[in-house]
Structure 1
Amino acid sequence: MDEVVATASEAVSDLLEGASSAVSGFRLSGVPNVLIQALFEREVSGLGVVSNDCGAMESGLAVLLGAGRIARVTGSYIGADKEFARQYLAGELEVEMIPQSTLAERLRAGGAGIPAFYTPAGVNTQVADGGLPWRYDGSGGVALASPPKEVREFDGTQYVLERGIRTDFALVQAAKGDPHGNLAFSKSTRDFNPLAAMAGKVTIAGVEELVEPGDIDPDAVHLPGISIRQMVALTPEQAADKKIEQRTVSS
């Protein structure tokens, strides 16, 4: 099956108002910027996103966030994103913050058809006990707090029950892909890309280099084509447009 479409706009054309989407990336690494920009240009709003963070340096999900297109975020990092923090504290944005390892496993579990799992991460904290602010009221009070979760003991250790995550869509970016949807990710971009792709009911991939079927060694396929619904080949300029968040030098 040929999964390739002509443009990023065509690829995201079915992503409508209020849809939920798992979005790959860690700050500036492995982010599907071209697909996000196409979504921004379609002026879709009320989105629920599941992602480690909401972008950086006015790129990635920060484009949608700054335009007020995102209604809810499930993630694990706000960091130095002042607009993310402002919207959250002002009550404009619902935010479910969870441990990063739990986020990764919730995505993987959802994609694998596992409804829930137990983890020690978050036991004896508000992650398990409830009370984490999901939405503020704009005056410093909490309008909506997280509910308590089931905690059970196994072999003398306490574990909290976490639900797998499934989303309407997933947006990812791969270093290489073939027309059948088989994808390979480069280095650290393997962090959330395969997990986000698995969690989406409809997964859309931007591919930096489109190759012929069979050109990717089977042992080098990080995500098989069965997980991908549509993909778009990026231009060389789009593939090379990768920002650097912090430059460091050493003597």
Structure 2
Amino acid sequence: MAKMAGELVKSDFKAPITTVKLNRPQVLNAYNADLLTQLEATLKQISDSDQIAAVILTSVGNKAFSVGGDIDYLENLSSKEAQALSKRGQKLCELIESMPQVVIAAVDGYALGGGMEITLACDLRLASTRSRFGQPEVKLGMIPAFGGTQRLPRLIGEGEAKELLYTGEIIDSTLAYNLGLINKVVTPRSLLAEAEELALKITERSTKAVEYIKKAINQKHSQNNQSALEYESQAFAECFKTKDHRLRIREIQKIIKADS
């Protein structure tokens, strides 16, 4: 498999495992339209390959997996554009969730907003001791838009999810583990090695059986999910009709500085 053109997403192919890295470390791997395009194209290419059984999704740099949307990108969106972005992010996360390969998120640093939502769509999540997780959108006058309102309650329970979503609190890797948000906490130095070891352990099993298990688990959520995701997109778009989010949107930078 050839590398994708451009530098916003890097893909290193080694059958049966591929490592995909978000590559905007200068802005803490915040996504923009180009990064989303490249990530979706990369994952589609991997999804269609029968040589790959597992994907490790991680990032370049040690400060953040991704802090979510690029502030300059989000700040200028109209309500209609915001809804289109939400649907695009939901489609990306649905691709991750449904692709036949096992997808393991290896998180080092911040995973916030849409960045955290991408990890929620992965099958398994490993995090370094310095990782931080959160959906701070409410502090910015917005809501999660990539399916986080659905996947987070499924993963950690409705009560705990509501508390994180309503407060926008950023939590450390220990609490994230205790809540069931991540599968394992490891040292920053051993993060990728641990992810590769887990991926190899899984690929040594029957990859077709693992694929069927993944599909069977996802069947539970597929029936009523679309209407909920449609509402999430509409609500996200409504947020962009107010002045509130435009006054708050740069607060994420203050949140990160205060927590670092």
Larger radius of gyration: 1
Normalized per residue, which structure has more strand?
1
Higher relative contact order (CA 8 A, sep 6+): 1
**Higher helix fraction: Structure 1 or Structure 2?**
2
